[in-house]
Amino acid sequence: MELEMEWMDKINEEVKNNGHDEKEQWRKHSIYKIPSQITDLNEKAYKPRAISFGPYHNGEEKLKAMEEHKHRVLVHFLKRCKKPIELLFQCLDQVAQELRDSYKPLDLIWTNDTPKFIQMMILDGCFILEFLRVDNSEIPFDDYGENDLVFGKHGNLHVLPFVERDMLILENQIPMIVLHILSEFAGEGDHHELNMKIIKLLNPIFIEDTPSNEKIIELGKCMHILDLYRKTLIQEPSHTTPIPKLTRAQQREEDISKKLGWNTFPRVQESGIHFHKSKTSSLRDFWFSEGVLWLPRLIIDDNTEYMFLNLMAFERLHNGAGNEITSFILFMDAIVDSVADVSILYGKGILVNTFGTDETVAELFNSMSKEIPKAYDKKIYNVTADIYYFCGTKPWKRWRASLIETYFRNPWTMVSLVVGIIFFVLTIVQTIYTILSFYHDC
C-alpha cells in the first residue's frame, strides 16, 4: 500500500508541474545512447575502437589500455598549466549538473557519484586538448618525446588515427563546455581558436574552402565535437550559385510533386544530365541548372561509413538538429545505384575513391540509406523537382544517355555496334538488289 501511495504521489507531482521539467530536460540533451533499431544494422560503426570519451563506453575492457595514458596526459597538462588539480576540479564541479543533463540516458552511477563523473570529464577532456595541441604544434612531439607510445612517431601512425575516428562517434562525445573550461584553465586561446584546432584535425578541407575566418565564426555555439564537425560539412558556400531558368511554378506543378520519391529518381548513367564538381566540398554546394547537376567532392575512405552513420544518428535523435546530412545521403543513394554510376562520378572528380572497388562504393551508398526515414529539406526538394522537370520534358536526352552508356563507353562494344550496322546495311542493300533483279527478270 505504501508503494502504491508513493507512486500516486509521484504522478500527482508530475501532473502539477504540467510537464515543464520534462520540456526543459529535452532542451538540455545533446549526446545520446543510440537505440538498437539503428545500431543493429551496423554495430561497429557506432562503437569506439581505441578510446572512450564520456560515460557510455567508460570502463569497457577493450578500451582500458588508454586509461593509463589519460592519467599521464593529465599530469603533462597540469605541469604546463602550473595550476593545482583542485582548482580544475572546482571549475567543472560548478557545471556538473549541466554536463550530466547533456546525456540521454545516464546511468545512476554517474548521477549519484559527482566526483567520479567530474574525474572522467577531466581525464577525457584533457586528453582531447592534448591531442589537438600536439596535432597543431610546430614542434614535433613537443614535450612527449619521439618514442612516446601515443604522441610519438609510433603512436602517430598506429594510435592517433583511431583516436581521431573515435572523436566522431555520437556515443563517445563530451560536452563542448568541458573543452572550453579546460582551454581557458590552460590559457590556450578562446573558443574560436579551439574550434579551429578541431576543424584543422577533422576537416582541413573546410579551411581550404573558406578563405575568411569570419565564415568559421558563423558556425556558432556547438554542443560537442560531432556537432561542430557536422556544421563544417553543411556550411553554405560563400559563392553565388546560378538560378535555374525553370520557374518556381514549373517546379511546383502537381504532376512533378506527385512524382517526387527516390524509387523513381533517374540514376546517373540514365538521367541524360551532365555532372560537374562544385567549387567546395560543402554538402550544401550543389545545384541543378540547364541540364547540369553540380555536386561537391566526396572523399570515400574507410571512415566514410561510420562518420555519416553517426551524423545521421545525431540528426535522428536530436530534436532541432536538422536533416541536411540525412537528406544528402538519400539524394546520393538515389542517383548512385551501380558501378557505372560510380565510374561516371569518379571520372568527373566528384567521388574520390580510396575505399575499394566502384562496386563497393555503390554498395556503401545503398547500405547507408537502409531503414532511414525519408528526410527532405528545401534545397534538396528544389533540385529534385528541377531534375524531374528536365527529364520529363526532354526524354530524348535520357535515350541518348542510355545509348551512349550501353554502346559507346567501351571501344570494343562501339566497334561491334558499327560492324553490326554495316552488316545490317549491306543485308538491306543485298535484299533490295535481289528484289530488283527478280522484277527485272520478270
Position with higher pLDDT, 109 vs 396: 109
Of 8-22, 44-58, 308-322, minimum mean pLDDT range: 8-22
Q: At a CB cut-off of 8 Å and minimum separation 6, what does 129 contact?
A: 77, 179, 182, 183, 186, 188
Average pLDDT over residues 219-232: 93
Position with higher pLDDT, 325 vs 387: 325
Q: Is 289 helix (H, G, I), strand (E, B) or coil?
A: strand
Q: Give dist(CA 135, CA 131) in Å, integer.
A: 6
Could you tell me the CA-to-CA distances from 224 to 33, 105, 189, 263, 405 in Å, in that order?
15, 17, 18, 35, 45
Predicted structure pTM score: 0.83
Average pLDDT, the chain: 82
Position with higher pLDDT, 426 vs 357: 357
Q: Is 159 exposed, middle or buried (0-12, 13-18, 19+ CB in 10 A)?
A: buried
Answer whether residue 107 shows pLDDT above 90. Answer: yes
The whole-angstrom distance between residue 234's C-alpha and the CA centroid of its chain comes to: 9
> Which amino acid does the sequence have at 367?
S
pLDDT band at 7 (very low <50, low <70, confident <90, very high): confident
- Tell me the per-residue pLDDT of 301-313, one tens digit each, with 9 for 90 and over: 989 999 999 999 9
386, 288 Cβ separation under 8 angstroms: yes
Average pLDDT over residues 331-349: 88
Q: Is 247 helix (H, G, I), strand (E, B) or coil?
A: coil
Read out DSSP for 140-190?
TTTTT-TT-TTTSHHHHHHTHHHHHHHTT-GGG---HHHHHHHHHHHT---
Nearest of 179, 284, 175, 298 to residue 236 by alpha carbon: 284
Q: At a CB cut-off of 8 Å and minimum separation 6, what does 256 contact?
A: 250, 385, 388, 389, 392
170, 46 Cβ separation under 8 angstroms: yes
What is the reported pLDDT for 429? 65
- Long-range contacts at 86-92 (CB < 8 A, ≥ 24 apart): 87/185, 88/122, 88/182, 88/185, 89/118, 89/119, 89/122, 91/181, 91/185, 92/118, 92/121, 92/122, 92/178, 92/181
Q: Give dist(CA 202, CA 128) in Å, integer.
A: 13
Answer whether residue 404 shows pLDDT above 60. Answer: no
pLDDT band at 435 (very low <50, low <70, confident <90, very high): low
Answer whether residue 418 shows pLDDT above 90. Answer: no
What is the reported pLDDT for 86? 96
Q: 349 — alpha (psi -120 to 50), left (phi > 0) or beta?
A: left
What is the reported pLDDT for 353? 87
pLDDT band at 13 (very low <50, low <70, confident <90, very high): confident
Instruction: Provide the 8-state DSSP code for 407.
Output: H
Percentage of residues in the chain with pLDDT exceeding 70? 75
Of 44-53, 98-107, 138-147, minimum mean pLDDT range: 138-147
What is the reported pLDDT for 212? 58
Task: Give the torsion sign (CA, 40, 307, 224, 165).
Answer: positive
pLDDT band at 232 (very low <50, low <70, confident <90, very high): very high
pLDDT band at 411 (very low <50, low <70, confident <90, very high): low
Across 36-45, 170-179, 263-272, 350-359, the highest mean pLDDT is recorded for: 170-179
Average pLDDT over residues 45-57: 97
Residue with cell 536530436: 318
Residue with cell 612517431: 153
Average pLDDT over residues 257-267: 54
CA atoms within 13 A on the CB side of 218: 11
Average pLDDT over residues 406-423: 57
Terminal Cα-to-Cα distance of the chain (whole angstroms): 116
Could you tell me the CA-to-CA distances from 39 to 63, 303, 317 in Å, in that order?
19, 17, 13
pLDDT band at 249 (very low <50, low <70, confident <90, very high): very low
Average pLDDT over residues 103-116: 95
Q: Give dist(CA 442, CA 434) in Å, integer.
A: 12
Answer whether residue 138 shows pLDDT above 80. Answer: no
pLDDT band at 403 (very low <50, low <70, confident <90, very high): very low
Of 206-215, 282-291, 297-306, 327-336, minimum mean pLDDT range: 206-215
Q: How many CB atoms lie within 10 A of CB 136?
A: 13
Strand partners, 104: 32
Position with higher pLDDT, 210 vs 441: 210
pLDDT band at 413 (very low <50, low <70, confident <90, very high): low
